[in-house]
Amino acid sequence: MLCLRWCNPFLGQAGWLICFWHTFYYLLHHENMIRKIIYGVYAILGMMTMAACSGQSDASEISLEKMHGFPTENTGFLKGVSALYAGVIEGNLLIAGGCNFPDIPVVDGGKKAYYRDIYIAPLSNDTAFEWKKIGQLPQAAAYGVTISTEKGLICVGGTTATHSLSDVFLLSLQKDTLKRETLPSLPVTMDNMAGALVGHSLYIVGGNVNGIPSSAMYMLDLLDLSGGWKRETDIPGEPRVQPVCVAQDGKLYVWGGFAPAVEGHQASLSVDGYMYSPETKEWSSVATPYDAEGNEISLGGGMGTSFGEGMILCAGGVDKDIFLKALQGIYAGKEYLSHPVEWYRFNRNLLLYHPQTDKWTTLGEYEQGARAGAVIVSQDGFHYIINGELKPGIRTNEINRIKEKRR
């Protein structure tokens, strides 16, 4: 150890000079030990920083507010829906389709209803929407994918009350008139999938393909529509129905998803995530989402969008343990559907993924994010969480807005 007894201040200038030369001599002849001490201090500080950052709260980055107003023309739709088509078109929020149990609850054997109407409402800083019906989908449908492009909204696949879809079309707004342009159909039917746009390449991933849970991915080059859809590299692991998919910085990110049992395959639920590189056409593993206590989170049935400077915001999703037991038939029937909302433990965490560090942080827990089958739509630092399930079979017509606090 350094001999600091020479540094007694009462020794005066001579004592300090002796202290200085003694310390210099010690450092000169114990360089390796000093280096180890310094490296050790840096290592400890690094671990403390990582521990603090892994799952720490970034709640100061957002505010959350409830929006007011919802289309009232259809009393069934007014009760709120799941899995609708939604996006921003010419400064308006557009919602269409979706499904719910408007008359008799599912627990009592109610029949699921699908919707066809298309509505728009101008976007502003206000918390009130003024909705206007502007058209209809080709058929009543839900559980498809909506992709925002410079030309309008692309609606892909989905399902009706009777069959899955392969239809793809572009919705655009021209002088307050909604136009629909047919695009190349999928080579298969797809529903309950996810998708995102990377450059001019539209990717659709997971879901039910021809009625079977799948890990397949298809791509359509919007600059070469004549080339049609192409099969891309499947996601590793189990099939993924209702995964979350977000594009960020030229890469595609996918988390979560589940699959009921089918012939030859057991029921499964995935919490892990992967990043897809269009250049290499390869998937690589990324961090699994988790809460502030380090518990893994399922994003199956949840939602995701780009956030801030290069980050990804994820919300909602079913509880991994409870829902897997439901898929396995351990929880089933009226007993499973009769619990209060809190029992299902839908994910309440608003989560931020940081691609540069492959880390997750939390923005806090919010009841407004605890949804399955909700849709999130983003525009200019605002993120709208639209409808969704509070519990199996029970929808909400709430729209809540997350506002980024720009730095």
Q: At 257, which CATH number?
A: 2.120.10.80
Per DSSP, the three-state class of 227 is helix
The answer to the question of residue 283 being in a domain is yes
The answer to the question of residue 56 being in a domain is no
Split into its structural domains, the chain has a count of 1
Q: Which is it for strands 268-269 and 273-277: parallel, antiparallel or unpaired?
A: unpaired
Q: List the Cα angle 155/161/164 in 5-degree steps.
A: 50
The answer to the question of residue 28 being in a domain is no
Intra-chain end-to-end CA distance of the chain, in Å: 47
State both tokens at 32. 């390796």
The answer to the question of residue 70 being in a domain is yes
Quote the domain boundaries for residue 162: 65-404
For 200, residues 6+ apart whose C-beta sits below 8 A from its C-beta are 221, 222, 223
Q: Exposed, middle or buried, 336 (CB in 10 Å: 0-12/13-18/19+)?
A: middle
The answer to the question of residue 265 being in a domain is yes
Q: What is the pLDDT of residue 56?
A: 52
Please state, in angstroms and rounded to a whole number, the distance separating the CA atoms of residues 122 and 92.
Answer: 4
pLDDT tens over the chain, length 407 residues: 444 333 443 344 444 444 444 444 444 455 454 444 444 434 334 333 333 444 455 555 899 999 999 999 999 999 999 999 999 999 999 999 999 999 999 999 999 999 999 999 999 999 999 999 999 999 999 999 999 999 999 999 999 999 999 999 999 999 889 999 999 999 999 999 999 999 999 999 999 999 999 999 999 999 999 999 999 999 999 999 999 999 999 999 999 999 999 988 999 999 999 999 999 999 999 999 999 899 999 999 999 999 999 999 999 999 999 999 999 999 999 999 999 999 999 999 999 999 999 999 999 999 999 999 999 999 999 999 999 999 999 999 999 999 998 64
Please state, in angstroms and rounded to a whole number, the distance separating the CA atoms of residues 164 and 192.
Answer: 10
Give how far Cα 369 sits from Cα of 56, 215, 296, 343, 372, Å. 18, 26, 17, 16, 9
Please state, in angstroms and rounded to a whole number, the distance separating the CA atoms of residues 362 and 114.
Answer: 35
State both tokens at 37. 């001490």
Read out DSSP for 101-131?
--SS-GGGTPPPEE--EEEEEE--SSSB---
Q: What is the pLDDT of residue 291?
A: 92
Residue 194 carries which DSSP code? E
How many other β-carbons are positioned within 10 Å of the β-carbon of residue 112?
13
The answer to the question of residue 47 being in a domain is no
The answer to the question of residue 127 being in a domain is yes
Please state, in angstroms and rounded to a whole number, the distance separating the CA atoms of residues 269 and 18.
Answer: 70
The answer to the question of residue 9 being in a domain is no
The torsion defined by the Cα of 86, 391, 236 and 230, in degrees rounded to 10, comes to: -30
Stretch (H or E) spanning 12 = helix 12-29
Instruction: Name residue, tokens 């793809």.
Output: 168
